[in-house]
Amino acid sequence: MEKTKKVILVSGMSGAGKTTATSVLEDMGYHIIENYPVQLISLLNDIIENSTDPRYSYLALSTNANDFREFLRGIKGQAIDVRVLFLDASDTVLIRRYKSSRRSHPLLLSNSANTLEEAIAVERQILSRSLDESFVTIDTSYLTVKEVKRILEQYFSKSAVPTFSISFMSFGYKFGVPLDADLMIDVRFLPNPFWVPELRPYCGNDPQVYEYVMEKEETREFLRRMISFLDYAFGEYVKEGKNHFTVAIGCTGGQHRSVAITSYLYNHYKDRFHSYISHRDEKEWIKGE
């Protein structure tokens, strides 16, 4: 039986952007349900599966950490296709967001933690019990609302035909690692253009830096081995039915080596797979100019 009802279960760390994500999904045509009582999950499940109301054909259900496992187990049926959108952000970013908004963390309000730092740690532990690689995980630490919208449209557009796609992302370790990467590649062993004074102000997309990185013997050997691995891995993920894969390439500052390698891999695979490219820390180089 074809699964005709699409349900997105939206969860993740408090402060990571569930409200923003559900607003975007609502604009995309999904009916949003927030704070639904977990005790009534069987009733909701029956409504979704049997209702002719078009609102239940595309539904996004937002849930907190404590109820997430119950909803994940409870929303099921022959006609229901359930996907999980898990939103995350670094602890530092979550603390900053809470302090700037002056909101209280839900676990503080329920007396499940005594400090904001403890609340974040407890919530992360609760959610870690249910994490699965099949979830669509988005690290919102460095994303704007516009970028979140682009990513959600990429994953959940109602008109999209499911297919295997790849996101290639560069980043700088000094700004933290991306939490949503399926594969993280460290290229800090490659010769660094930063130490060449005339190249330092440029980025890996500028011809002089790109050529500097690509002409090195270490780079050529690395790419030969990496592409062999990725060719095999991508082929296996296609067989498995995975929809999307994120490759994150990191160097120290996310400006030179990682950008060049990310651009190379994107150009190498873009004609074979639906591919995306982003340079997470681009705003940091621009700021430093």
Which candidate, 50, 55, 58, places its Cα nearest to that of 78? 50
**Residue 192, token pair as written in the block:** 């660094």
Q: Which domains does the chain have, with CATH numbers?
A: 5-156 (3.40.50.300), 165-288 (no CATH)
pLDDT score recorded for residue 289: 45
pLDDT tens for the chain, residues 1 to 289:
556 889 999 999 999 999 999 999 998 889 999 989 989 999 998 899 888 888 889 999 999 998 999 998 888 888 888 999 999 999 999 999 998 888 889 999 888 889 999 999 999 999 988 888 788 999 999 888 988 988 898 888 877 656 788 999 999 999 999 988 999 999 999 999 999 999 999 999 999 999 999 999 999 999 999 999 999 999 998 888 777 899 999 999 999 999 999 999 999 999 888 888 999 998 877 655 4
Contacts of 76 (CB under 8 A, 6+ apart): 45, 82
Q: How far is residue 243's CA from residue 35's CA, in Å, rounded to a whole number?
A: 29
pLDDT score recorded for residue 206: 95
